[in-house]
Amino acid sequence: MAGALDELGSGKNTTIDLEKPNRLKPNIEQLLNTLGLAKLATVLYELGSYNWRLMKMLAQYPSPKFDFCYIDGGHNWSDTGFAFFLVDRLLKRDYCF
């Protein structure tokens, strides 16, 4: 996503991941730095679930914040279903497909 934004010349990517992958070598932040894309991405970490961060975002930004969201996470109904509910409240409605 950050690479696509770099090609477009603008934008910002926010990604939420668990703490555990941050300990990998290389981790996402090291890869973004190596590729020169760190300025286009904000990496957020959670101990248990990205849903906690989504709920914090709703509390912080009651108005929609995102143009696009890609969910690749829980791989089960309870986590992913709840994520879709939370993300729906964070998506801007400016687009018509």
pLDDT at position 44, please? 94
| Dist CA 70 CA 66 (whole Å) | 11
Query: Could you please report the per-residue DSSP string of 42-97?
Result: EEEEESS-HHHHHHHHHHH--S--BS--------SHHHHHHHHHHHHHHB------
Q: How many residues does the chain have?
A: 97
| Dist CA 53 CA 55 (whole Å) | 5
51 or 22: which leads in pLDDT: 51
In terms of domains, do 17 and 60 share one?
no
In terms of domains, do 39 and 54 share one?
no
pLDDT at position 97, please? 55
pLDDT at position 96, please? 55
In terms of domains, do 36 and 70 share one?
no
pLDDT at position 84, please? 92
In terms of domains, do 81 and 59 share one?
yes
Structural domain boundaries enclosing 27: 1-48
Domain boundary residue, one of 9, 28, 48: 48
> Which secondary-structure segment (H or E) carries 32?
helix 28-35
Q: Per-residue pLDDT tens for 31-74?
A: 999 999 999 999 999 998 899 999 999 999 888 889 888 888 77
